[in-house]
Chains A and B, each alone.
Chain A
Amino acid sequence: MQIELFYLAHSRTGDKGNSQTMSLIPYDERDYALLETQVTTEAVARQFGRLVRGKVTRYALPRLKAFNFVLEEALQGGVNDSLNLDTHGKSRSAVLLAMTIEVPDDHPALRVKAVLS
C-alpha cells in the first residue's frame, strides 16, 4: 500500500544560505530501514521538483535512527534574496512528508492514517 511519509515520520526544516536542511525521524525506530530504502536522494529531489535546483544529499544516522537531508539551491538565493512568503522555507518539511512510500498491507501507519483522516 502507498502511504504518505507524514504518518510514519516527522521532520524539521532549517536554512543555511541557499540550502535547506531537513531531518526525517521515524515515529517507530523499526521503520528506519523502510525509510532508508525508499526515501532516497532521487526520490526527495523528485518530490521537491522545481523547488530545489541543486544537489540533494542524504546523511544516514543509524545510531540516532534518523536521516538528515541537505537540499541545495532551494531558497531563491537564500533569505537575503528570496521573495518567497516563507523566506526561510521553514514550511517545506510538509512537502517532504507528503511524499508517498510503499508499506506492507498490515503496517500500523495505515491505521493511524485511517483514524486521522
Chain B
Amino acid sequence: MGLRQSDRIRLGGGSAFFNDRLDAALELVEKGDIDVLMIETLAERTLALLHAARRAGGSGYWDKLADRLQVLLPACAKHGTKLVTNGGGAAPEACAAMIARLARERGLPMKVAAVTGDDVTELVRASDPILLETGEPFSKLGTGIISTNAYLGADAIAAAYAAGADVIVTGRVTDSALALGPIMATLGWKADDMDAMACGVLTGHLLECGGQATGGYFAEPGLKDVPDVDRIGFPIAEVRGDRSITITKPPGSGGRIDRHTIVEQILYEMHDPAAYITPDVTLDVTALDLAESGAHEVRLSGARGHARPGTLKVLVGVDSGVLAEIEISYGGINADKRARLAADIIRKRAARNPMLGNQTIQYDLIGVNSVWPEEGAPPVRDVRLRVAARVPDQRAANELITEVEALYVNGPAGGGGVRFATRPTIRTYTAFVPRADVTPRWTFVDA
C-alpha cells in the first residue's frame, strides 16, 4: 500500500549524532504527534570507521542502533510514525534486515526499505577524479583507502516513502535529505520545483542537529537562559503545502524556541547564506521571513532555491595513523611554569627519539591556552599539560605516552593525574563526480 498524500507533514529531529539522547527521541514519537522520526548518525569520519569495522568482520552499521530501535520501533508502530535514518552506515541492506528481524520478533508489521548507491568505490577508481584538498588525482592516494561514498540526495528516500516504507535505512545521504524525501512524497513536491526543495532542505537543516534548534548548545547563564535545559525537547517541523515551516517541540518538554535559537541553527555550518549547496537544491535563506508565532513556536517562509549542482560530493576516507593524547596536571603557585617546563622536557626528548623525532607534537596548557588565543593573563592555579601527536602507529604512540608518564618521577615538581588515550584516525578527501554516474536505489528488505 502506498502513501496517501496530504497538505501537511510533521517531522521530528530525533538525533544529531550517533550517541544522542534516546529519551528525547522517544518523547518526540510519544508526544510530538509526528509523521516521521529522523535519526541522523553519520558524521564525516563515522562512515569511514564503519567501513573499517565492516572489513574487520563487523556489521558495518552502528551496532547500538539495535538497542535504540528496541525502544523506538514499538513506539513508532503504535503511533504510526515512520522512521528515516542514515544509520545503515557502510551496510544499509544488512542494517535494514536487522531492523526487519527486530520488527518481526516484536510482532510489528513494518515494511523496511534500504537505500543504496552511495558507495562509489568502483566509479571513483575508474574515473580517477581530482581531489579538492591535494589537487591531484584520486589514484595518487595509494594505499590506506577505507571508504568512498557519495552524498546522495532525497530522490530514493522519497520513492521508498511513497511506496509505503515504515522504516527507511540509508548509508551516506546529505543529512537534510532524510527530511526532504518524506516531505516530497507527502506533499507531492517535485525535484524541479526549486523553492519547494529549498523549503524541504531548510526543514532538514533545522532538524538534523536535534536539540540545537530548541535551546541546546545555546545557554549562556544570565544572558541566554534556557528553561528546563536538562530535558530539552527535540524539534518538530510542520511543513505545509504553502511552503511554510513551523518549528515547535513536544508539549511539556524543556528548551526554548524563538528567533534567537532558530537563527543560530539556520546559520550553523553555513557558508554563503544565499548558496547553501546540497545534492537536491542550492538553498538561499536571505529572503526568509521569520515570525515568533506562539510560545516556543517559530514560523518560517520564503526559502528560495537555486539550481542544484551537476555533480555529487564524494568523501574518501583514508587511514591516517594514530592520534595520541596524554595529559598531566600541575597545581598551585607557578603551576603554568612547571607545565611549560614539562613540555620542554618532552620536546627535547622527543627530538632525540627516532620514532618521534619527525612527528609534529602539540603542547597545550589546559586552563591557559588550549581553546583561547591569549596566554597566561590571569594567574592560574590548575593547569593541565596536554601533549598530542598524530603518529604512524600504536608503537610510536606508546613511545610518546611513556615519555609523558616518566614525568611522574623525572619531570618538574608535583605533576599528577596522567591520563592518555589513543585512537585510529581517518583523513577525508573530497572529490566530485557527475550526478548521472551515480544511481541511488531503494528496495524493501525482509528479515
Residue pair B269, A14 in contact (C-beta under 8 Å): yes
Q: Which of A12, A80, A86 contacts B370 (CB 8 A)?
A: A86
Residue pair B269, A25 in contact (C-beta under 8 Å): no
Residue pair B288, A91 in contact (C-beta under 8 Å): no
Residue pair A85, B370 in contact (C-beta under 8 Å): yes
Residue pair B223, A79 in contact (C-beta under 8 Å): no
Residue pair B260, A10 in contact (C-beta under 8 Å): yes
Residue pair A63, B269 in contact (C-beta under 8 Å): no
Contact partners of B272 in chain A: CB under 8 A? 59, 70
Residue pair A81, B390 in contact (C-beta under 8 Å): yes
Contact partners of A17 in chain B: CB under 8 A? 133, 430
| Residue interface mask B272-303, A partner, CB < 8 A = 1 | 11100000000001111110000000000000
Of A37-45, A46-54, A100-108, the stretch lying at the interface with chain B is A46-54
Q: Nearest CB to that of B221 among chain A residues?
A: A116
Residue pair B389, A27 in contact (C-beta under 8 Å): no
Report how far A14 CA is from B218 CA in the complex, Å.
Answer: 13
Contact partners of B265 in chain A: CB under 8 A? 12
In the assembled complex, A83 has its CB within 8 A of some CB on chain B: yes
Residue pair B223, A23 in contact (C-beta under 8 Å): no
Size band of the A side of the interface?
35 or more
Residue pair B267, A85 in contact (C-beta under 8 Å): no
A16-B271, A85-B371, A85-B386 are contacts. A80–B264 as well, Cβ < 8 Å? no
Residue pair A91, B390 in contact (C-beta under 8 Å): no
Residue pair A80, B271 in contact (C-beta under 8 Å): no
Report how far A48 CA is from B370 CA in the complex, Å.
Answer: 14
**Number of residues from B at the complex interface, CB < 8 A:** 49
Of B71-79, B348-356, B358-366, B411-419, the stretch lying at the interface with chain A is B358-366
Residue pair A21, B267 in contact (C-beta under 8 Å): yes
A27-B260, A48-B373 are contacts. A70–B271 as well, Cβ < 8 Å? yes
Contact partners of A16 in chain B: CB under 8 A? 269, 271
Residue pair B273, A61 in contact (C-beta under 8 Å): yes
In the assembled complex, B427 has its CB within 8 A of some CB on chain A: yes
Known: A27-B260, A59-B274. 18 other contacts (CB 8 A): A12-B217, A14-B268, A16-B269, A19-B271, A21-B269, A27-B223, A27-B224, A61-B285, A63-B288, A68-B271, A68-B273, A79-B44, A80-B426, A83-B323, A83-B361, A83-B389, A85-B364, A85-B388
Chain A residues within 8 Å of B, Cβ to Cβ: 6-7, 10-12, 14-17, 19, 21, 23, 25, 27, 48-51, 59, 61, 63-66, 68, 70, 79-81, 83-86, 91-92, 94-95, 112, 115-116
Chain B residues within 8 Å of A, Cβ to Cβ: 44-45, 133, 212, 217-218, 220, 222-224, 260, 263-274, 285-290, 320, 323, 360-362, 364, 366, 370-373, 386, 388-390, 425-428, 430
26 contacts between A and B (CB under 8 A): A6-B223, A7-B223, A10-B224, A10-B264, A12-B218, A12-B264, A12-B265, A12-B268, A14-B268, A14-B270, A21-B267, A21-B271, A23-B268, A25-B263, A27-B224, A48-B373, A49-B373, A50-B373, A51-B373, A66-B267, A79-B45, A80-B45, A80-B425, A80-B428, A83-B361, A91-B371
